[in-house]
Amino acid sequence: MISLAAATGLIEAIEAAGANPDHVLKSVGVDREVLSDPQGFIPFVDFARILEGAAHATGDDCFGLHFGERFHPKNIGPLVYVVLHSPTMMVGFENVARYLRVHNEAVKVSFAMAEKWAYLRSVRADLPVEIHRQQQEYSMAVGLGTIRLMAGTEWVPVEVQFEHEPPSHTSEQARVFGAPVSFGCAANVLVVEREFCERQVPASDARLYPILRQYLDRILDEMPREDELLASVRRAIGECMRHGDPALTQVAGKITMGPRTLQRRLQDHGADFKGRINDTRRRFSVAYLRDRKNTLTEIAYLLGYAEVSAFNRAFKRWTGSTPSDYRRGLISGRFG
């Protein structure tokens, strides 16, 4: 899930770009009323699909990037405020990594220092590769805007790295970030100078900062947590299944664990490998079915099935409905 605060101004941005927001939302099975509560949450995959749908409807290939460029980070709320009032840039980056989950459960952020550079890295989870570009560019542009609120509007990173493959034109990405931009990387990364991380944040409030930390710590304590092992296994299965039926040895290798150890650890959690594969396929299949451009044959392939009939049988076992009927239900609004 991701906070609907991330969608602040999205309806207006779609309209300003010349498209009908209701048509965009309908195309991905989301009602406008869903976006009306800034305190609410929306499935991360739905938010990504809205951005992709908006890019298609408006003819703006960089819609996510442009929306993120114009987005005011303070709309996000307490997460950004604790970053803006951190004593140093480094502490601000560490706070993003610690507290992002209260705003976005589907992305993990880490911060690491090297001899010369520092890396603010984000990795998506459970998002079909076909729909992640607009969301990634939106998110990185918002990150840039947040750092500029801390350091000044003229600040630029050393380099920007994106997971997704390069679009046909990359001049807009270079313009927005004012730095070299790479694509097809292992993660989405803002590279900054190590010295920059040691700077104080000029506008930070030492009295307000601990209050914000306590508030966000309380929210984190109240949030349910998914076990890290199960989450890692699910991500690894998602990476493997586009190449066929995921094998235990493949998945274990991706999380640097022996196959027998992985089986034993899953048993300790009351889970089994086959059940993890089915759960991952079920999650991805629903996401793929939301996009009507994906044929059932393509979805079966992306899920690692050799035949559509195998996908049909599995999906009916999971949901009690065939993929075709489920897709019709999504379109008609019977399924959320």
Q: Do 199 and 317 reside in the same domain of the chain?
A: no
Which pLDDT value is given to residue 125? 59
Residue ending a domain, choose from 166, 195, 222: 222
Distances in Å between the Cα of 60 and the Cα atoms of 18, 53, 55 are: 10, 10, 5
Q: Is the pLDDT of residue 187 over 90?
A: no
Say if residue 333's pLDDT is above 60: no
Q: Are residues 83 and 192 in the same domain?
A: yes
The last residue of one of the domains, among 187, 222, 257, is: 222
pLDDT at residue number 270:
67
Which one has a higher pLDDT value, 270 or 209? 209
Domain containing residue 266: CATH number: 1.10.10.60
Let me know whether 130 and 270 are in one domain. no
Domain coverage including residue 233:
228-332
| pLDDT tens digits, one per residue of 252-265 | 888 878 888 888 88
Closest CA to 120 of 143, 103, 101: 143
**Domain containing residue 114: CATH number:** 3.90.1520
Count other Cβ atoms within 10 Å, centred on residue 285.
24
- The length of the chain in residues reads 336
Q: Is the domain of 154 the same as that of 244?
A: no
Q: Contact, 308 vs 296, CB < 8 A?
A: yes
d(CA 22, CA 32): 7
Instruction: State the DSSP H helix or E strand holding residue 175, giving kind and residue range, or none if neither.
Output: helix 171-177
Nearest to 95 by CA among 110, 107, 106, 105: 110
Q: How far apart are CA 95 and CA 112, in angstroms?
A: 13
Q: How do residues 2-54 score in pLDDT, each as one tens digit?
A: 889 999 999 999 999 999 999 999 887 788 887 877 778 887 888 998 999 99
pLDDT at position 204 is 93
126 falls in which pLDDT band (50, 70, 90)? low
Q: Is it the case that residue 290 has pLDDT exceeding 90?
A: no
Question: Within this chain, do residues 202 and 68 fall inside the same structural domain, yes or no?
Answer: yes
Q: What is the pLDDT of residue 189?
A: 95
Select from 84, 117, 295, 314 the least CA-distant residue to 202.
84
Residue 254 confidence (pLDDT): 83
Do residues 241 and 325 both lie within one domain?
yes
For residues 297-303, average pLDDT = 89
What pLDDT band is residue 67 in, cutting at 50, 70 and 90? very high
* Domain termination residue (choose one: 222, 239, 266): 222
Mean pLDDT, residues 75-99: 94
Same domain? For 17 and 123 the reply is yes
Strands (E), 162-205: 181-182, 188-193
Q: Based on the fold, state whether residues 186 and 247 are members of the same structural domain.
A: no
Question: What pLDDT sits at residue 274?
Answer: 86
Residue 194 confidence (pLDDT) above 80: yes
The total domain count for the chain is 2
**pLDDT per residue as tens digits for the range 200-236:** 999 899 999 999 999 999 888 877 665 677 878 888 8
Let me know: does 319 contact 326? Beta carbons within 8 Å: yes
pLDDT for res 186: 84
Residues 92 and 241 reside in one and the same domain:
no
Residues 14 and 161 in one domain: yes
Which of 91, 126, 125 lies closest to 111, judged by CA?
91
The confidence score (pLDDT) of residue 276 equals 86
What tens digit of pLDDT does each residue of 130-164 get? 668 999 999 999 999 999 999 998 999 999 999 88
Residues 238 and 112 in one domain: no
**Which amino acid belongs to residue 237?**
I
Q: Where are the beta strands (DSSP E) in the chain?
A: 2-3, 41-42, 107-113, 117-124, 159-161, 181-182, 188-193
Q: What pLDDT, on the 0 to 100 scale, is given for residue 315?
A: 87
Average pLDDT over residues 76-87: 95
Check whether 335 has a pLDDT greater than 60.
no
Q: What is the pLDDT of residue 235?
A: 81
Report the mean per-residue pLDDT for the chain.
88
Q: Are residues 140 and 190 located together in one domain of the fold?
A: yes
Which residue, 321, 318, 327, 320, is CA-closest to 295?
327
Range 285-290 average pLDDT:
83
